[in-house]
Amino acid sequence: MDRGLIEKAIEQAKNQESNLVIWDRRDTFTIEPDELAEIETNDDYLRVRMENGKATVYVEYDAIYKVVVERERLTRRGSRAGFGALSS
């Protein structure tokens, strides 16, 4: 996935104080608003310190296939903005 799209999703989640959900080949990670400040975008990977610094997750951009900003469910259930990429 493109680093620019990931940075855009991170910024949107920070601005909206929303969860950021990242899917990669192996797992799904939900990053809560208070953990968004602990995200570092590097050249080839994303680093997130989670659970009050008890865990650090490294995810390579090539392994990410979907990033979603979970918005507050005010009007209808399941409202999400997503950023996705197809891998070949």
pLDDT value at residue 80: 55
C-alpha 26/C-alpha 45 separation (Å) is 15
Q: Over the stretch 1-10, which tens digit does the pLDDT of each residue have?
A: 899 999 999 9
Q: Is residue 24 part of a domain?
A: yes
Q: Work out the average pLDDT over 21-38.
A: 92
For 49, other C-beta atoms within 10 Å of its C-beta total: 16
Return the pLDDT at 43: 92
As for how many domains the chain has, the answer is 1
**pLDDT for res 14:** 94
Q: Which domain holds residue 40?
A: 3-72
Residue 86 lies in a domain: no
Tell me what pLDDT residue 51 has: 86
Q: Is residue 57 part of a domain?
A: yes
Domain membership of residue 35 (yes or no) is yes
**Single-letter residue type at 80:** R
Is residue 14 one of the residues assigned to a domain?
yes
Q: What confidence tens digit (pLDDT) does each residue in 30-61 have?
A: 999 999 999 999 999 999 998 888 999 999 99
Task: Evaluate whether residue 42 is within a structural domain.
Answer: yes
Q: Residue 79 falls within a domain, yes or no? A: no
CATH number for the domain harbouring residue 19 = 2.30.30.100
